[in-house]
């Protein structure tokens, strides 16, 4: 028999012997491994107040990692030896939002109890997943600080629709899980919020930075200032990245796109600056609807957000 290229045990994808793709460094958590960074998918979008298939985002973001290498030219370092553990996706309830939130909370708690990793990334889903996720981290670490990249306050009232993707921080604040002064919101945009929610944010002492503030001060300077403030009053810091904080030109796959947001470079540089602080232990990435995206632009940007967090 002559030479054959057929081998069902191997992928037909091109492989350069000198290049390691990020997805090649990710291992499925099986119960005893330890790693540097843990990943878990929180594929819930039934609570979105606008039609959204953000539940599909964890898989598309993971797929995006296969397009990029582990080598950082900026840092002159190859991260091919970083240990990344994937805890899989949480199965959501088919109809009950409250049951789904319970499942997400329990699953993040169970992941943290393994103590398998030093830092964790939660892949949403809509922004509603931040409520159970942050609550789980608060129960483990104590007083928690949150930096939120977002066009919206996400402090909507609960009377008009219950817990939705517009209420996670209202739920955390009213539930006394999070203190107002420990929440930083960066990227709040004009004509994206109500006066009542602006008033609520002020009453709760949330540190709010609009896009005009970003234009004047620079997002990296704001992050540095707020990290320095938070480190003296909290036990850990959690990053919550709502991709609709990014201008629609750079993130077309968000349910609530709009002009005047961050550039992709502003988002990546600010996340990297925050992630370099040792008190930053977790990050979620939310509000990507792959069905609305163009050539996975938004999911690939989210993959780079992950990389800035992991390869600090």
Domain boundaries, the chain: 22-310
Give the Cα separation of 273 and 223 in Å (integer): 7
Find out whether 127 is annotated in a ligand binding site. Answer: yes
- Do 169 and 157 meet the contact criterion of CB atoms below 8 Å apart? no
| Distances in whole angstroms, Cα of residue 47 to Cα of each of 58, 148, 165, 289 | 16, 19, 6, 14
Find out whether 198 is annotated in a ligand binding site. Answer: no
Positive/negative CA dihedral, 34, 234, 129, 273? negative
Quickly list H helices, the chain.
Answer: 57-64, 97-114, 130-141, 168-174, 195-204, 211-217, 219-230, 264-275, 297-310
Find out whether 153 is annotated in a ligand binding site. Answer: no
Q: At what angle do helices 297-310 and 57-64 cross, to 10 degrees?
A: 70
The CATH number of the structural domain formed by 22-310 is 3.40.800.10
Find out whether 242 is annotated in a ligand binding site. Answer: yes
Find out whether 78 is annotated in a ligand binding site. Answer: no
Cβ contacts of 248 within 8 Å, gap of 6 or more: 254, 257, 258, 259, 261
Half-sphere exposure of 22 (CA within 13 A, CB side): 23
* pLDDT tens across the length of the chain (312 residues): 566 777 888 778 888 999 999 999 999 999 989 999 999 999 999 999 988 999 999 999 999 999 999 999 999 999 999 999 999 999 999 999 999 999 999 999 999 999 999 999 999 999 999 999 999 999 999 999 999 999 999 999 999 988 999 999 999 999 999 999 999 999 999 999 999 999 999 999 999 999 999 999 999 999 999 999 999 999 999 999 999 999 999 999 999 999 999 999 999 999 999 999 999 999 999 999 999 999 999 999 999 999 999 998
């Amino acid at each position: 028999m002559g030479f054959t290229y057929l081998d069902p045990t191997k992928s037909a994808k091109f492989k350069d012997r000198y290049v390691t793709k990020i997805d090649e460094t990710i291992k499925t958590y099986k119960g005893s491994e330890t790693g540097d960074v843990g990943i878990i998918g929180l594929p819930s979008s039934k609570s979105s107040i606008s039609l959204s298939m953000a539940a599909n985002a964890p898989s598309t973001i993971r797929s995006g990692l296969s397009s990029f290498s582990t080598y950082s030219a900026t840092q002159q370092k190859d991260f091919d030896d970083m240990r990344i553990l994937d805890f899989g996706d949480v199965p959501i309830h088919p109809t009950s939002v409250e049951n789904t939130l319970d499942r997400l909370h329990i699953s993040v708690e169970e992941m943290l109890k393994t103590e398998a990793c030093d830092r964790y990334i939660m892949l949403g889903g809509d922004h509603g997943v931040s409520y159970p996720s942050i609550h789980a981290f608060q129960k483990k670490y104590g007083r928690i600080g949150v930096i939120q990249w977002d066009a919206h306050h996400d402090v909507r009232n609960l009377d008009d629709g219950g817990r939705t993707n517009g209420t996670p921080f209202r739920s955390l604040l009213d539930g006394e899980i999070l203190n107002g002064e420990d929440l930083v919101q960066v990227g709040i945009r004009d004509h994206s919020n109500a006066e009542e929610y602006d008033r609520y944010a002020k009453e709760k002492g949330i540190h709010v930075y609009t896009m005009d503030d970003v234009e004047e001060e620079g997002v990296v300077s704001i992050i540095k200032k707020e990290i320095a403030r938070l480190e003296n009053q909290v036990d850990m810091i959690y990053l919550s990245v709502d991709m609709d904080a990014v201008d629609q030109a750079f993130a077309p796959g968000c349910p609530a796109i709009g002009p005047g947001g961050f550039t992709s470079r502003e988002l990546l540089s600010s996340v990297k600056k925050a992630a370099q602080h040792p008190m930053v232990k977790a990050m979620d990435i939310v509000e990507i609807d792959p069905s609305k995206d163009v050539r996975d632009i938004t999911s690939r940007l989210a993959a780079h957000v992950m990389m800035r967090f992991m390869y600090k």
